[in-house]
Structure 1
């Protein structure tokens, strides 16, 4: 079994890390390069940067942030937000990112997954999926545009398709759990992990160390991602890893 990974997520807006609840009331959480360097030192296994102001101006800002970050850290990092073409991917990878995250663009143009994987390798392509439970269907639905648009696509169908198209990893965010700090969405995470063979990063709902233990023990998730609890020092990465090891989880 592969060792589990702990991944802080940095939402970057106009060159600064921000964090809010349900995409509103954003608070400044610091300089992304400085935060990335701290997480690298503290033992994070990877980082994910999401450009949430991905206008043309935002994209150029992000390329510069990626370049500066790559000079400061030694762990892999993924960059997503506003990436909608192979050329966009190339720019971000050239600036120093290790992987590319695509979400809305992949739903609107699934061929982008194939093209990115063929050009840069499956290991570079992370498909981010925002899912919410649909009571009528009795299963989860995919949302796009930062969780604002329902797609009518069943999440379990979509995860299988992205795997088949060449994605190397899935970043799975539960919209129902996101921001609650009540724990990861175990039923959703379990169902997705059982549907695919590629690694799944669980995201949304982490508030305690126990929540990471739960998701690793009760689902096939390969990694746990969080933002607020790390940015505001509610949980430190070294303390979290110590607790996971003492709980019997193989950790890097």
Structure 2
């Protein structure tokens, strides 16, 4: 049985870590290097670090950070935010990232996924999909550009395209649940799971261990990404995995 994963997700803005609510209302939550070192000591399975600065959208602010984070963190690092080309992806991997996270570019140029996967392997490419529920359409709507641009493609169509281009993992994030600590959108995760042959990471809404248990058991998702749970409570990845192991969920032994 494949091991489940608990992945802290950190948002970088202007050199500092922030936490958002529905992709806005940023609150400062610390230093990226110190925080990453703490997660490393708490046996997080992986770490996701995303640049959410609105302007400029580039990897420039990520490069120095990933070098420093990789010095204190020995878990797999997934880095993204502002990737516009396979050269950007390669630069992040050369400087310490194990995986890259692509979002907006996955709608604009699938070749960036293909070129990166061909060079570093599909396991090095995560495509992040930001989604909001639209009551008027009675369906989910996809967004790019930090949740500011509507994309006119269905979740199923987009997952099919990026997997076909070479993506090795999908992260599906609920904008509605972001920062709410109200639990994961299991309906959204199940929609992604139904069409993705690649592992899926669920994100958005982590608030307590019971919500993690429900999301894992109700969806079979490979991993859950958590921000607020670890930023605004005394929870940590080690405690979360110990709790979840009591329900028969398999995690890497530490």
Q: TM-score, normalised by structure 1?
A: 0.94
Q: How many residues align?
A: 252
Is the Cα–Cα contact under 8 Å of residues 16 and 32 in structure 1 kept in the other structure? yes
Is the Cα–Cα contact under 8 Å of residues 8 and 48 in structure 1 kept in the other structure? yes
The worse-fitting range, judged by mean Cα deviation, of 188-197 and 48-57 is 48-57
Counterpart for residue 237 of structure 1: 237
Distance 1:54 1:143, change over 3 A: closer
Counterpart for residue 66 of structure 2: 66
Is the Cα–Cα contact under 8 Å of residues 181 and 228 in structure 2 kept in the other structure? no
Using the TM superposition, give the Cα deviation of residue 233 of structure 1 relative to its aligned residue in structure 2, in angstroms: 3.2
Counterpart for residue 201 of structure 1: 201
How many Å separate the matches in 1 of 2:87 and 2:96? 15
How many Å separate the matches in 2 of 1:17 and 1:230? 13
How many Å separate the matches in 2 of 1:248 and 1:218? 13
Counterpart for residue 48 of structure 1: 48
Using the TM superposition, give the Cα deviation of residue 190 of structure 1 relative to its aligned residue in structure 2, in angstroms: 0.8
The worse-fitting range, judged by mean Cα deviation, of 175-184 and 53-62 is 53-62
- What RMSD over aligned residues (CA atoms) do the two structures have, in Å? 1.7
Question: Does residue 1:155 correspond to 2:168, yes or no?
Answer: no
Counterpart for residue 189 of structure 2: 189
Is the Cα–Cα contact under 8 Å of residues 172 and 201 in structure 2 kept in the other structure? yes
Is the Cα–Cα contact under 8 Å of residues 126 and 168 in structure 2 kept in the other structure? yes
Runs of at least 5 residues in structure 1 that lack an aligned partner in the other structure: none
Q: How does 1:16-31 map to 2 (within 5 A)?
A: 16-31=16-31
Q: How does 1:124-139 map to 2 (within 5 A)?
A: 124-139=124-139
Is the Cα–Cα contact under 8 Å of residues 140 and 156 in structure 1 kept in the other structure? no
The one of the two structures with greater contact order (alpha-carbon pairs below 8 A, sep at least 6) is 2
Counterpart for residue 143 of structure 1: 143
**Deviations 1:98-156, CA, capped at 9 Å, x for gaps:** 00001011112222211221122101110000112234544322111111221111011
Runs of at least 5 residues in structure 2 that lack an aligned partner in the other structure: none
**Match of 2:75, SS?**
coil
Distance 1:58 1:218, change over 3 A: same
Distance 1:128 1:57, change over 3 A: closer
**Match of 1:179, SS?**
coil
**Deviations 1:31-65, CA, capped at 9 Å, x for gaps:** 11111110011010000000112756973332111
Counterpart for residue 12 of structure 2: 12
Distance 1:54 1:72, change over 3 A: farther
Using the TM superposition, give the Cα deviation of residue 213 of structure 1 relative to its aligned residue in structure 2, in angstroms: 0.5
**Match of 2:172, SS?**
strand
